[in-house]
Amino acid sequence: MTRPRAERRRQAKAAVSPSIDANQPSPATDRAVMILTYRTPYAIVVRAHVRSIVRQPKHTLAFLFCIGLAFATGTIIAKSALVGLAGAVGIGALDILCPQLLFNEEAERLAFHPGGIRASIGQWQRFYAWRHVAGIERDRLAMTIYLANLKAFVIPLSAFANPNEIDATVAALNALRRGVSAVTA
């Protein structure tokens, strides 16, 4: 007996779906431990991006590589170190300013699950497993969740009800990241 064509297509599609992460939470089995909804002001995005260049080794190396390449290319083509320096400064400025120029302030929603983070911005949604989170930090303006691919979620401290909640949230998220299941935030 043969299976109906629609059922065969559905099973084949489910078998080869590469976009589904095995650690992605299932709505039926995994509930979010914590949900944050917030808006990140432009000034905090600028500060977080520059801070990322300084503090994240991958970002620093990528920034220096682009500047070095621009300097070498400008020097070789124009046969002038001044042109190379101008190109390096231009590329460096573009690298710093481009993310801010593309920034659009929208309501963001992060749902934290034992398997990772589900990010929603407008119609866009993405799941990041904890293994893709490079670090979680708090400073005087924001809590930043750095991802391994040079992306970050910058959550302003105004998204929290009180300052004690911020430190508890950072501790709870680091516990989730390490796989500790006892989270009380």
Model pTM score: 0.64
Fold of 33-40+104-178: PH-domain like (2.30.29)
Cα-based angle 42, 48, 52 (whole degrees, multiple of 5)? 150
Is 50 exceeded by the pLDDT of residue 19? no
Backbone phi, psi, residue 175, to 5°: -65, -45
Q: Which pLDDT does position 68 carry in this prediction?
A: 92
Average pLDDT of span 16-44: 60
**Structure confidence by residue, pLDDT tens digits, 103-162:** 667 778 888 888 888 988 878 888 988 888 888 888 888 888 888 777 888 888 888 888
Q: How far apart are CA 159 and CA 142, in angstroms?
A: 9
Higher pLDDT, 15 or 100: 100
**Structure confidence by residue, pLDDT tens digits, 37-88:** 877 777 777 777 888 888 888 888 988 998 999 999 888 988 888 888 898 8
What does the domain layout of the chain look like in residue ranges? 33-40+104-178, 47-101
Is 50 exceeded by the pLDDT of residue 29? no
Number of neighbouring beta carbons within 10 Å of residue 36:
19
Classify residue 112 by burial, with Cβ atoms within 10 Å: 0-12, 13-18, 19+: buried
Is 50 exceeded by the pLDDT of residue 14? no
